[in-house]
Structure 1
């Protein structure tokens, strides 16, 4: 076992102390939906998350800085060079995290669509009348939420985000998030993938606001194959949608404990994660670190 000290265990990631300025972030194969972690694992999921995060981090370097340092085990402390962590672990710079989920929506779906159908707004802001489900918005919209360590995140307005972090940080977070989304969405579109929405987490490193945690993964984003999309219905997603669909079909109230996942749901989810990585990056997942 590693001598590194585990300092935080999230829904799907573990954080280990390296030194005063660095941590090791390890993505597990756990999966969560509706803010609840499932008992079952999705094989290789953690490696997909890490592979995509590292790819996007490099691609985004001209738009936004990140806290990512390296996923190469040779750059890790000796005690972190564990075979089972290969392809899952990333050396990162410590960041003072904003208490916000920085969500950007380019299309109206999910909780935003539900709110719109009920009251005509999205995160409290009015939208034009007549939008269809899964329709592209006129411009990408920054729609923050609270960051709950347990339980459900809560959608908030931009004004409430300002109250949480201050005007300067809220403006910077909005700018970074929207610019990163636009660059990613343009690239994905060339690969035949629509990024309907995505969630960024931002933090301060050396007095600079950077993107932290994961970037544009199937855990943090809705990826739609463009050939399946048309306004009026939400298409299949290259993400955890099989888990959402299977559990909602049981009538689950979305509070712990989560219902069991079938092998079929687990396998379908794994395939969608890998497809998202390969289609967006143009790389074969089998070439990623840690895979035999």
Structure 2
């Protein structure tokens, strides 16, 4: 039986910023990330939420942070009691969906790595023969594996849509040395994650990373290789030449595309069946990657 979706957390008296999915509480030298069950698509937060989705995102991120032990990251603890919570904090609601993290200077770019031709990359290729200005061979099909992973940064948007930019634009904004370091690190993490996921029956088609600066060096922050930040395709169903079956929120985007919604007005509510199937897909991704059952 699914628990009720947590749409918004509440910690009285603690400064908070609310993103599309996470509520971020400021405790001075550290932050408390609370992954809610909100789900967004096409720059809108949808309703209702997906029960336990935030727990899946948090536990998958934890799995990868621990697996990539050679890559510095912001995770300090999974226990919300490691920050001074108010007396009326609802610990049951917070269970499994919290990360206590180091505070960093967030780099204002999404570090996107694409291993397959899909999503906005496919649309760009159809229009220009390139992805984010990177020329590709003619005749590629939708969902084809690319000859090598592409690094295609995007601006980070607090609200609204992230915008693809060139590597040069990123370099001009943050410096060539840091941009190259982020590019190389992003591709390294993607390749390591992709190799592991393939062994578990999942194709990691593309993903996005976020980094922050701490003590002058970039460290991995936010979420890592989750169904919200990545395209996960079941390897045994992979068939290039069209869209793929997904284990991520593409399922929700695909349903929205079948409606008459114009993407400029409030979106229609998600039917119960779509909510349930989306939850199942997130749970399946967790089980395939970690080898563990969701116990929530």
Common fold by TM > 0.5: yes
Specify the alignment match of 1:69 in structure 2. 76
8 Å contact kept, 1:24–1:92: yes
Residues 1-292 of structure 1: matches in 2 within 5 Å? 2-3=11-12, 5-19=14-28, 21-62=29-70, 64-79=71-86, 82-286=91-295, 291=296
Q: Which deviates the most, 64-73 or 266-275?
A: 64-73
Instruction: Give the unaligned 5+ runs of structure 2.
Output: 1-9
8 Å contact kept, 1:6–1:14: no
Deviation at 1:7, TM superposition (A): 2.6
Deviation at 1:231, TM superposition (A): 1.5
Give the whole-Å Cα distance in 2 for the aligned partners of 1:227 and 1:281: 18
8 Å contact kept, 2:32–2:80: no
8 Å contact kept, 1:4–1:16: no
Partner SS for 1:285: coil
Q: RMSD of the alignment, in Å?
A: 1.4
TM-score, normalised on structure 1? 0.94
Deviation at 1:103, TM superposition (A): 0.5
8 Å contact kept, 2:287–2:294: yes
8 Å contact kept, 1:241–1:269: no
Q: 1:64-114 deviations in whole A, cap 9, x for unaligned?
A: 211111112443434367221010111000011111011100001000000
Specify the alignment match of 2:4 in structure 1. none
Give the whole-Å Cα distance in 2 for the aligned partners of 1:250 and 1:76: 44
Pair 1:4–1:209, CA change in 2 (3 A):
farther
Q: 1:44-64 deviations in whole A, cap 9, x for unaligned?
A: 0000000001110000112x2
Deviation at 1:256, TM superposition (A): 4.2
Deviation at 1:198, TM superposition (A): 0.4
Partner SS for 1:134: coil
Instruction: Give the unaligned 5+ runs of structure 1.
Output: none
Q: Which deviates the most, 213-222 or 146-155?
A: 146-155
Deviation at 1:3, TM superposition (A): 3.9
8 Å contact kept, 2:11–2:85: no
**Number of matched residues?**
285
Pair 1:143–1:210, CA change in 2 (3 A):
same
8 Å contact kept, 1:4–1:17: no
Give the whole-Å Cα distance in 1 for the aligned partners of 2:152 and 2:260: 28
